[in-house]
Structure 1
Amino acid sequence: MPEILSPAFVYVAGAFAALIPWRIPRAVILLAIPLVALASFVSLPYANYDLLNIFDLQLGFLRLDALSFVFALVFSLAAFLSLLFAFHLRDRLEQAASLIYAGAAIGAVFAADLLTLFIFWEGTALASVFLIWARRTEGAWYTGLRYLAIQIGSGLLLLAGLILRYHDTGSIAFEHMELDSLGTWLIFLSFGIKCAFPLLHNWLQDTYPAATLTGSVTLSAFTTKLAVYALARGFAGTESLIYIGAVMTIFPVFFAAIENNLRRVLAYSINNQIGFMVVGIGIGTPLALDGTVAHAFAHVIYKGLLFMSVGAVMYRTGTAKASELGGLWKSMPLTMAFCVVGAMSISAFPLFSGFVSKSLILSASADTGHFVVWLTLLVASVGVLEHSGIKIPYSMFFGHDRGLKVKEAPLHMLIAMGLAAALCVGIGIWPQPLYGLLPYPVDFHPYTTDHVVTQLQLLFFAALAFAMLIRYGLYPVELRSINLDFDWFYRRLLSGMMIVVADQVRTAWRGLVRSVDYRLDRLLVAVYRTHGPEGILARTSQTGAMVFWIAVLLGITLALTYL
């Protein structure tokens, strides 16, 4: 095979361009790096490149096939759009971290073995945490530490799993695995943490709103979708994923409804959308896997668009809280239009990208007889419309007018949002180019009468319910605080238990110290009585008595020596 390096190294090398002191030339060069990396693999035939043998282990840095190609393609597009959106940045640390983060994610997608995957897996964690710390607040610092601990923990589980798997099979190849050993279970759990499985998901809501407004756009593209790729590569057809994914689609709906921070709403929405993909991976049929890959592609674009629209509003107003926004459609009409495109895409309106990708997963769940799961996905689709399709644009642009008078978003942000919106509409109207990239041949037509009518009815009644709830004041009020779900157990319960334990330990320690002090005092008194001026040992002894005790000690010594 020819020596062709992984595009990941283009990103890593290109990150040194962040050292250029001039802002505009630096931003232009950084913007070119994803295009150069994309050009390095987009025309290559499917094969394994960039192989390295070390210690009898074959490492593969560039496995190019239908699955890795699609994810690498959309990651490249996301990197370009996020860098374009952040064109105004002067923070060179954040720019370099964004490039390394994107490169590590693409490197992980191209990894042909678990060791290479581990290296890039940890690379995404180490680079992405700087997108949080770049905000330079005390809260961002502690949030970054929590995020880093969780992501590094995921990597350690992956490392332990690959070691055990190598011990069991003699192979570190990154291929399909069965949950039949401790090693594969550890790898599965590692992927689940990064995928934000239920009960393992709170790092996502904790982290994305804490990042910079441009950093959250970048974060939304890579980490969870990399985990989706890893599950599709390693655990396709694992039945438990069907039910894990179904739960993921449902539980965020309520929390997103009461959330005041719109970036946290979008973070919960990521859980919901990833759930659809996990269901598709669990079903494991060609149609379901095609649906997972197509939905991941569409999701990276429209979720990035929604984060960009919220980021643009935050850039102009200084807040992303629903209670402080409203009536901005007059001041930011283009941002509003792009946001609506993203909202309609995530809600799976016909003629938008979410419709042509989500339909594949819904059809696969119905075709395989998972009726309850199919019904769950339909209900979850209603929730998507409510919390992301309506709440996000309504809160920022059409809700109560707060009297905010701001400028439209900067030109580079509008261009980035416009390109993302064009992709959302283009894929929705003409899905065949995307279908042609999927791992399996697609014989599916989303625009049948049944699909369109069913989806429009669902969307219409969901929108009507939202309007009625708003009209009569029954819509859940956004809580102007940090809303807790499962993280209540470690933020409140575990914290409270630690306080109680600490009090008990403190009390026990004080008792121990008092007891030791008392015994030391008694000991000192006894020593004083014996050795003090009036003690026994201070008295004058007769020579005969001294000789007697010396003879006794000598006798004891002789006895111990010879007996």
Structure 2
Amino acid sequence: MTIEGLPPGLLMIAGALLLPFVGAAARRVMVLALPLAVLALVWMLPEGSGPALSFLGQSIAPLRVDALGRLFATIFLLMAAAGALFALGQSRLLEGVAAFVYAGSAVGVVLAGDLITVFVFWELMAVGSTLVLWAAGTPSAARAAMRYVQVHLLGGVVLMVGIVAHVAATGQTAFEAMRPETLGTWLILAGFLINAGAPPFSAWLPDAYPEASWSGMVFLSAFTTKTAVYALIRGFPGAEILIAIGLFMVFYGIIYALLENDMRRILAYSIVNQVGFMVTGVGIGTEMALNGAAAHAFAHILYKALLLMSAGSVLLMTGRRLCSDLGGLFRTMPVTTACGIIGALAISSFPWTSGFVAKSMIGQSAADGGLALTWFLLTAASAGVFLHAGIKFPWFVFFQKDSGLRPADPPWSMRLAMILLSALCVGIGVFPGLLYGLLPHPVDYQPYTAAHVVEMLQLLGFSGLAFFLLLPMMKRTRTVTLDADWLWRRPGAAAATRLWTGLAAVFAELTATAAAAVRSVADHARALHGPRGILARSMSSGGMAAFALVALGLALVALYR
């Protein structure tokens, strides 16, 4: 296969695996240049599919380039470059390698032309993201990584079974639009939704992401959920069930973000909320709605990364993550504060920011399609977004009370990464044609009408007024918010422990029985044949017992897993 037919994601992964073998100075250059080089390759590739290959009797297309895939590959690689710049001072090499494997796998998914290639890169994403989380090096990160990988391996198994069933029923491996009408397509949809953070598995995201390092969560926020959004746009446009699922995610994220005290958990719940808008757009399924979902995914990666860079800078410079422990940081962290505010305005769809020109397309598509209730709920949710991410996060972290903390802004590379993303958030908002020209369908939408601007300013203004009138209720204390993750943190963990203890007891009993049998055989051989014949027979009996024990142990391990 020539370089023209090689999936660019593989080049990203190969470059990541080379990072441990180059010097520190060369590594710093490489982590900045590699994503941009792969991005250039993505844009040099002509539209269409690469050479077809045969795998297990099935035809696969590891590379397919079109407008939708190129859009997502572009934002993934831009995010990898910005994240690498932000993490330039990160001492954990494993995190950088894993992050690039993670990013390369995401690029592999969005440029894959068949379901088998999608699945392979899908599972590589799970490995890379788990290692990014585990690389934080804390006990809480290790526990979160174990829970995280179990959820995503479950999603991978569901996806794999769905693909097998779909291929068996249709004989086709191509990744094209489907309807959730058969067992295979329903399972494929479920596998995608698990990665999107859809119910009932939404809680894995705020359970895991905030335990990453100050730089790790920036990478985690960008790829998994947005790759799932891409897969839904590609595979299930117009599936009406996604409207209900998306709206649930929208309000679930708002409610829990308003209850949270941990600044990074606020932003993690906000990811679920924002992905809910995208899933709703996919469910609406019109060209404008799909454009809106894709544009919103693009814009969301930028401003969510900016918000998490701001939060990561605060975490690095203060060592604190609870809103109740922070405040007054604008005095000594002006760059971080300004960039955090720009990110907060963008996520709130403030005019002249990227969120305003992207997310509003989804609401407009609901209105155009006569979905009055959906339009009303999305509009109400926009006010909720401003409450929890647009005001709550910057107010409690940078303003409110004087916490007595006087940290400086973070190192230059972190400041530069935030400034660049801030410029992109504002630039896309002021010149929306830059983004609209990349979308998969022709765009006939004008965001800057007088009615739309006034409507959004009124909505945000009244939301801000409500926040400050209800400020005593908005203040958080050192409490823990219960979510569905409690099920696998507490009763689930206890049940697994009891199961393993029981299996260990059974294994110990079987081992004791086998040892007694070996001793009996040895005693019998000694009595019949004397010392000379004992060695051969005991070796034979011992070997058989050892083989039986190994086989039993492997069976138990497989059962436990």
What's the TM-score once normalised by structure 2's chain length? 0.87
Contact 2:9 2:104 in 1 (8 A): yes
| Cα deviation, residue 172, structure 1 | 1.2
Q: For residues 486 and 16 of structure 1, what CA distance do their matches in structure 2 show?
A: 36
Q: What is the aligned-residue identity percentage? A: 45
Higher mean C-alpha deviation, range 489-498 or range 17-26: 489-498
Q: For residues 242 and 122 of structure 2, what CA distance do their matches in structure 1 show?
A: 21
| Cα deviation, residue 95, structure 1 | 1.1
Q: For residues 223 and 498 of structure 1, what CA distance do their matches in structure 2 show?
A: 27
1:188-208 superposed Cα distances (whole Å, 9 cap, x missing partner): 110010001121111101111
Contact 1:346 1:389 in 2 (8 A): yes
Q: Which residue of 2 aligns with 1:385?
A: 386
| Cα deviation, residue 287, structure 1 | 0.5
Q: Which residue of 1 aligns with 2:420?
A: 419
Q: Which residue of 2 aligns with 1:240?
A: 241
Q: For residues 369 and 99 of structure 1, what CA distance do their matches in structure 2 show?
A: 43
Q: For residues 234 and 78 of structure 2, what CA distance do their matches in structure 1 show?
A: 21
| Cα deviation, residue 495, structure 1 | 6.2
| Cα deviation, residue 20, structure 1 | 3.7
| Cα deviation, residue 356, structure 1 | 0.3
Q: Is 1:457 aligned to residue 458 of structure 2?
A: yes
| Cα deviation, residue 315, structure 1 | 0.9
Q: For residues 21 and 58 of structure 1, what CA distance do their matches in structure 2 show?
A: 38
Q: For residues 222 and 464 of structure 1, what CA distance do their matches in structure 2 show?
A: 35
Q: Which residue of 2 aligns with 1:159?
A: 160
Q: For residues 281 and 372 of structure 1, what CA distance do their matches in structure 2 show?
A: 16
| Cα deviation, residue 21, structure 1 | 5.6
Q: Is 1:169 aligned to residue 170 of structure 2?
A: yes
Q: Is 1:267 aligned to residue 268 of structure 2?
A: yes
Contact 1:35 1:80 in 2 (8 A): yes
Letter in 2 for 1:367: D
Call closer, same or farther: CA 1:474–1:15 in 2, change over 3 Å.
Answer: closer
Q: Which among 475, 478, 493 is matched to residue 476 of structure 2?
A: 478
Contact 2:335 2:409 in 1 (8 A): yes
Tell me the C-alpha RMSD between the 2 structures.
2.1
| Cα deviation, residue 485, structure 1 | 2.1
1:29-59 superposed Cα distances (whole Å, 9 cap, x missing partner): 1211101101112133211124322333222
Q: Is 1:105 aligned to residue 103 of structure 2?
A: no
Contact 1:85 1:308 in 2 (8 A): yes
Q: How does 1:393-542 map to 2 (within 5 A)?
A: 393-470=394-471, 473-475=472-474, 477-492=475-490
| Cα deviation, residue 152, structure 1 | 1.1
1:64-108 superposed Cα distances (whole Å, 9 cap, x missing partner): 011101000000100000000000122211111011000000001
Q: Which residue of 1 aligns with 2:75?
A: 74
Higher mean C-alpha deviation, range 7-16 or range 461-470: 7-16
**Ranges in structure 1 where 5+ consecutive residues have no aligned partner:** 514-563
Q: For residues 50 and 493 of structure 2, what CA distance do their matches in structure 1 show?
A: 50
Q: For residues 496 and 114 of structure 2, what CA distance do their matches in structure 1 show?
A: 41
1:392-423 superposed Cα distances (whole Å, 9 cap, x missing partner): 11112112111111121110001111110000
Higher mean C-alpha deviation, range 315-324 or range 114-123: 315-324
Higher mean C-alpha deviation, range 343-352 or range 379-388: 379-388
Aligned with 2:437: secondary structure?
A: helix
| Cα deviation, residue 8, structure 1 | 0.8
Q: Which residue of 2 aligns with 1:370?
A: 371
1:239-261 superposed Cα distances (whole Å, 9 cap, x missing partner): 01011111111122221112111
Aligned with 1:136: secondary structure?
A: coil
Contact 1:258 1:479 in 2 (8 A): no
Q: For residues 332 and 49 of structure 1, what CA distance do their matches in structure 2 show?
A: 49
Letter in 2 for 1:330: R
Letter in 1 for 2:473: L
Q: For residues 298 and 77 of structure 2, what CA distance do their matches in structure 1 show?
A: 11
Call closer, same or farther: CA 1:146–1:447 in 2, change over 3 Å.
Answer: same
Call closer, same or farther: CA 1:93–1:490 in 2, change over 3 Å.
Answer: closer
1:415-472 superposed Cα distances (whole Å, 9 cap, x missing partner): 11111000000000010121111111001100001111111100000000111112xx
Q: For residues 51 and 38 of structure 2, what CA distance do their matches in structure 1 show?
A: 15
Contact 1:6 1:50 in 2 (8 A): no
Q: Which residue of 1 aligns with 2:532?
A: none
Q: How does 1:35-434 map to 2 (within 5 A)?
A: 35-434=36-435
Contact 1:298 1:357 in 2 (8 A): yes
| Cα deviation, residue 22, structure 1 | 3.3
Q: How does 1:8-23 map to 2 (within 5 A)?
A: 8-20=9-21, 22-23=23-24
Letter in 2 for 1:474: M
Q: Which is greater in Rg? A: 1
Contact 2:343 2:425 in 1 (8 A): yes
Q: Which residue of 1 aligns with 2:525?
A: none
| Cα deviation, residue 486, structure 1 | 2.5
| Cα deviation, residue 23, structure 1 | 2.5
| Cα deviation, residue 17, structure 1 | 3.2
Letter in 2 for 1:300: I
Q: For residues 498 and 100 of structure 1, what CA distance do their matches in structure 2 show?
A: 31
Contact 1:17 1:29 in 2 (8 A): no
Q: For residues 37 and 98 of structure 1, what CA distance do their matches in structure 2 show?
A: 15
Aligned with 2:343: secondary structure?
A: helix
Call closer, same or farther: CA 1:177–1:256 in 2, change over 3 Å.
Answer: same
Q: For residues 500 and 463 of structure 2, what CA distance do their matches in structure 1 show?
A: 50
Q: For residues 40 and 497 of structure 1, what CA distance do their matches in structure 2 show?
A: 49
Contact 1:17 1:30 in 2 (8 A): no
Contact 1:220 1:303 in 2 (8 A): yes
Q: For residues 407 and 422 of structure 2, what CA distance do their matches in structure 1 show?
A: 22
Q: For residues 381 and 303 of structure 1, what CA distance do their matches in structure 2 show?
A: 16
1:88-142 superposed Cα distances (whole Å, 9 cap, x missing partner): 1222111110110000000011111111000000000001111111111222111
Q: For residues 495 and 39 of structure 2, what CA distance do their matches in structure 1 show?
A: 51
What's the TM-score once normalised by structure 1's chain length? 0.86
Q: For residues 402 and 193 of structure 2, what CA distance do their matches in structure 1 show?
A: 42
Contact 2:42 2:73 in 1 (8 A): no
| Cα deviation, residue 24, structure 1 | 3.0
